A = this chain, B = another copy of it.
Amino acid sequence: MTKDFFSITELSDELGVSARALRFYEDKGLVTPQRAGTTRVYTRRDRARLILILRGKRLGFTLREVKEWLDLYDTDPDQIEQMSRLHNILHRKIVALELQRDDLEETLREMRAMDAQVMEHLRGKGANGSRPDAACAAPRTNGTRTKGVN
């Protein structure tokens, strides 16, 4: 039995963001939960949108940009005129995302190469060479991180 509706705290807990953030997203028109009286009631569809929003944020997009392509999902499939434009937009977004992916993989290559150099130095001069997670404190002071690698 999967739930149909969610409170703001249920979702903020599950998604790892503050309730304030969810209200902010609503303010900006990225989600529009219904109300039971004054209290927000999120559907599974709202939840799905929020997951997309957070992924967009992790990829470095602004909320405005995320909203733009969330709106694409809601385009009426019977408006042929709009669908042609939608295809253009999608095509351009895809190209841009592919460029970003290439950026990312180039960076990954460089990091790995650098790591290899480091390992070589360690092997040459002595001391421990493997177990990258050992003896690593990992402070985690900031509880509300979205992005960032330390």
Tell me the number of copies of this protein.
2
Q: A90–B118 contact, CB under 8 A?
A: yes
Q: State in angstroms the CA–CA spacing of A62 and B125 once bound together.
A: 35
Q: State in angstroms the CA–CA spacing of A77 and B118 once bound together.
A: 8
Number of chain A residues close to chain B: CB under 8 A: 57
Q: A150–B94 contact, CB under 8 A?
A: no
Q: Is the interface of A mostly helix, strand, loop or mixed?
A: helix
Q: State in angstroms the CA–CA spacing of A132 and B107 once bound together.
A: 30
Shortest A64–chain B CB gap in Å is 9
Residues facing B in A16-51 (CB within 8 A) are: none
Shortest A77–chain B CB gap in Å is 5
Apart from A59-B100, A104-B104, 8 more pairs, CB < 8 Å: A58-B60, A72-B114, A77-B117, A84-B128, A86-B118, A88-B136, A93-B111, A97-B149
